[in-house]
Amino acid sequence: MKEFNLAIIGLGNIGLEVYKNIKKNASDIKKKTGFKLNISQICAKDIKKNRGVKFSKNIFEKNIFKIINNPEIDIIVELIGGSEGVAKKVVFESIKKNKHVVTANKSLISKHGDALSILAEKHGVNLLFEAAVGGGIPIIRSIKQGLIANRLSHIYGILNGTTNFILTEMEKRNESFQTILKDAQKLGYAESNPTADVDGFDAADKISILSSIGFGSKIINKGFLVEGIRNIELEDIKFAKSLGYKIKLLAIAEKIGNKVKQRVHPCLIPNDIDVANIDDVINAVVVDGQPIGRTIYEGPGAGKGPTSSAVISDITSIMLGNDEFSFGLAPSAKKKMGLINFDNHISRYYIRFLTKDVSGVLSKITLALAKNKISIANLLQTPSKSGAANIMLITHVSKELNIKKVLRNLSINKKLFKKIVMIRVRDLKKL
């Protein structure tokens, strides 16, 4: 029986869970793949730390390059993280040494995935990254293999658990973004520097990877709209709720002709539509294509258990030899696709103006909207603290460029307009 020798590089929460679950499921892995899987080497920063596990003797190797150069190792699992530095070096060098690589590193794949997949093909090895998107949801393999017979048109969903948790808890507990962010940090859902999650970059990396796989395009990892949830306040969530909407951070990719419309931003979604009711750290991805139609995938989007599940599925795919192409097609077949200019996007828009409560403010807003051919569908004003007011409205279908012009014009008047929040409405029944 052929055996596969594995090395784990990075023994944090996820690395340790991968180690434990491989050990625990060793006989199942053998039965299901027909091969024995040995964890031969581990590289960790602190090898003396008590992790509550008894490791085999001599399993630790501090020098990463001794592992990469070890001819006995077949598969390297990179769990360091980050798109540059050590993680990048480990993945590139391992492939050059003809090792299969499994990684959970979305920023690395989003930035270097095209070059890495070309390199992997050249060296006849696999580069797999199921854990990079959707945590435990097997979304990459579902698109690459389960939906192989389809031409996909839309991929969208909630791809960041941290922001979904924050938005859910703000509504449930009637608390501010800052309070819930602190709780999320205490619970380990948000990093001490929460930028990647709350400003949308994590979701952007993930949708870049999914759109490349789904549409057969080279990775589009920059130049598209990325907005996070930092600006969203309780007022926005409450107003949305009163009109039958939930606010969710969505990552959206659509293929239109030979171009891609891709973006990450918060959306108002009607309560009765798919992802509106996906709460807490759960992720959900909707994939639409022909001939299948619309499919939806839901599950835990982060955490050591779900992530280790995805990492081990990649390892066993390598053992089975059933997942050759990182992005579902030969790297040379990937097309360079342009981005659609988002200024031409049309949707309904939610806008909240925190203004001075003085005469003439409302007319300034309505005049600016009218000048740009924007019509109001809903409007509400609520008094706020110390002579301020929140004016909240939802427009009829309008053009992004026109909305931007209005916001730019009004936001110049900082004395009157203290804050402007704009959220796109994703009314899937109509648009």
For residues 425 and 349, the answer to whether their CB atoms sit within 8 Å is yes
Rule CB under 6 A: say whether 140 interacts with ligand HSE: no
CA distance 216 to 208: 12
Per CB under 6 A, the list member of 135, 194, 266, 331 interacting with ligand HSE is 135
DSSP 60: B
Rule CB under 6 A: say whether 266 interacts with ligand HSE: no
Looking at the Cβ atoms of 206 and 424, the one nearer to ligand HSE is 206
The single residue listed with the structure tokens 């200024």 is 343
Looking at the Cβ atoms of 5 and 185, the one nearer to ligand HSE is 185
Q: Is 97 a catalytic residue?
A: no
Rule CB under 6 A: say whether 161 interacts with ligand HSE: yes
Q: Which two tokens stand for residue 393?
A: 């409205």
For residues 92 and 119, the answer to whether their CB atoms sit within 8 Å is yes
Q: Which helix (H) or strand (E) holds 253?
A: strand 245-256
Rule CB under 6 A: say whether 323 interacts with ligand HSE: no
Looking at the Cβ atoms of 39 and 133, the one nearer to ligand HSE is 133
Catalytic-role residue among 88, 206, 246, 334: 206
Closest CA to 163 of 231, 83, 94, 67: 231
Looking at the Cβ atoms of 195 and 375, the one nearer to ligand HSE is 195
Among the candidate windows 40-48, 157-165, 310-318, 368-376, which touches ligand HSE by CB under 6 A?
A: 157-165
Per CB under 6 A, the list member of 110, 162, 262, 308 interacting with ligand HSE is 162
Per CB under 6 A, the list member of 107, 160, 168, 347 interacting with ligand HSE is 160
CB 255 → ligand HSE: shortest distance, Å? 24
Looking at the Cβ atoms of 166 and 318, the one nearer to ligand HSE is 166
CB 257 → ligand HSE: shortest distance, Å? 31
CB 232 → ligand HSE: shortest distance, Å? 16
CB 1 → ligand HSE: shortest distance, Å? 35
Among the candidate windows 26-34, 155-163, 243-251, 286-294, which touches ligand HSE by CB under 6 A?
A: 155-163
CB 345 → ligand HSE: shortest distance, Å? 25
Rule CB under 6 A: say whether 169 interacts with ligand HSE: no
CB 286 → ligand HSE: shortest distance, Å? 17
For residues 22 and 37, the answer to whether their CB atoms sit within 8 Å is yes
Looking at the Cβ atoms of 228 and 301, the one nearer to ligand HSE is 301
| 275 SS3 class | helix
Among the candidate windows 6-14, 113-121, 156-164, 399-407, which touches ligand HSE by CB under 6 A?
A: 156-164
Q: Which two tokens stand for residue 281?
A: 């750290």
Among the candidate windows 154-162, 225-233, 243-251, 260-268, which touches ligand HSE by CB under 6 A?
A: 154-162
Closest CA to 25 of 13, 37, 42, 12: 37
**Residue 414 burial (C-beta neighbours within 10 Å; 0-12, 13-18, 19+):** exposed
Q: Which two tokens stand for residue 226?
A: 């990325």
Site for ligand HSE in 180-209 (CB under 6 A): 197, 202
Question: How many chain residues are in contact with ligand HSE, going by CB under 6 A?
Answer: 8
The single residue listed with the structure tokens 């909305």 is 403
Rule CB under 6 A: say whether 301 interacts with ligand HSE: yes
Q: How far is CA 384 from CA 140, 354, 364, 391, 418, in A?
A: 46, 8, 19, 10, 12
Looking at the Cβ atoms of 41 and 162, the one nearer to ligand HSE is 162
Q: Which two tokens stand for residue 305?
A: 């258990």
Q: Which helix (H) or strand (E) holds 320?
A: helix 304-320
Residue 260 CA to its chain's centroid (Å): 17
- Strands 245-256 and 259-270, by their bridges, are antiparallel
Q: How far is CA 51 from CA 21, 40, 55, 298, in A?
A: 14, 18, 10, 31
CA distance 267 to 394: 12
Rule CB under 6 A: say whether 302 interacts with ligand HSE: yes
Looking at the Cβ atoms of 40 and 307, the one nearer to ligand HSE is 307
Q: Which two tokens stand for residue 141?
A: 């393999």
CB 30 → ligand HSE: shortest distance, Å? 30
- Strands 3-9 and 36-43, by their bridges, are parallel
Site for ligand HSE in 110-129 (CB under 6 A): none
- Virtual torsion, Cα 15, 280, 230, 198, nearest 10 deg: 20
Site for ligand HSE in 5-44 (CB under 6 A): none
CB 302 → ligand HSE: shortest distance, Å? 4
Q: Which residues bind ligand HSE (CB under 6 A)?
A: 135, 160-162, 197, 202, 301-302
Active site residues: 206
